[in-house]
Amino acid sequence: MAVFSLIIINKAGGLVYQREFQPGLRKLSTNDYLVLAGTFHGVHAITRSITPKLPLAAIPNPPITPTTATTPSPNIASPSSTSTPTPSSSSASAGGYTYPNPGVPATGLESLETDKFRLTCFQTLTGTKFLLFTEPTMANIDVVMKKIYELYADFVMKNPFYQLEMPVRCEAFDRNLQGWLRGRA
């Protein structure tokens, strides 16, 4: 089962990493990837914000917010000003609605599928997004995703030469990622 490629998008919607894992795979242009990252980031925010909400009265014990008067909508980091508007914040400040289970945050778009491929998005609680392009029938994508996140935590986050939110240029990350995916195939 093939993993085609991986994209990592930072909190602000910027593309910080892109790799293909199939030899000879047709590459998109850098610009296409940047647009893809930005667009996906925006659509992701929209899908999260259109999550149906219940009236606040229906929820017995909303979590505490000490210094703000608004209802704590458990938002993942909001997109930057460069991307789409965020209706979620306006509805939160109205104070009347909340998600069905306030402890469980609303996610955005998690997967997107065509006949030929599937795009799976995993957003970490810190707001970083991992986008994995695979064959549509591939199983256990969550296992692959989890491993990628661990490799990222090891070889990107523990590298003193990596600056947060910047493009990922870590040779050991590339090497270990390639190695693990190859070993799996």
Instruction: By CB under 8 A, name the binding residues for other proteins.
Output: 11-12, 63-68, 70, 72-81, 89, 92, 102-105, 124-126, 128, 146, 149-150, 152-155, 157-162, 164, 169-173, 175
- Residue 46 CB partners (closer than 8 Å, separation 6+): 84, 108
Look at residues 53, 47, 132 and name the one whose alpha carbon lies nearest to residue 83.
Answer: 47
Shortest CB 95 distance to other proteins, Å: 13
* 99 touches 75 (CB < 8 A): no
For the CB of residue 155, give the shortest distance to other proteins in the complex, in Å. 5
Of 117 and 174, CB closest to other proteins:
174
| CA distance linking residue 37 with residue 15, whole number of Å | 6
Best CA proximity match to 110, nearest among 48, 53, 50, 152: 48
Q: Which is nearer to other proteins, 7 or 148 (CB)?
A: 148
Residue closer to other proteins by CB (options 21, 155) is: 155
Rounded to a whole number of angstroms, the minimum distance from the CB of residue 135 to other proteins is 25
Nearer of residues 28 and 107 to other proteins, judged by Cβ: 107
For residues 1-35, b (16+ Cβ closer than 10 Å) or e, as one string? Answer: eebbbbbbbbbbbbbbbbeebeeeeeeeeeeebee
Task: For the CB of residue 9, give the shortest distance to other proteins in the complex, in Å.
Answer: 14
Q: What residue has token string 């591939």?
A: 138
Nearer Cβ to other proteins (47/176): 176
Q: Could you tell me the smallest distance in angstroms from the CB atom of residue 106 to other proteins?
A: 11
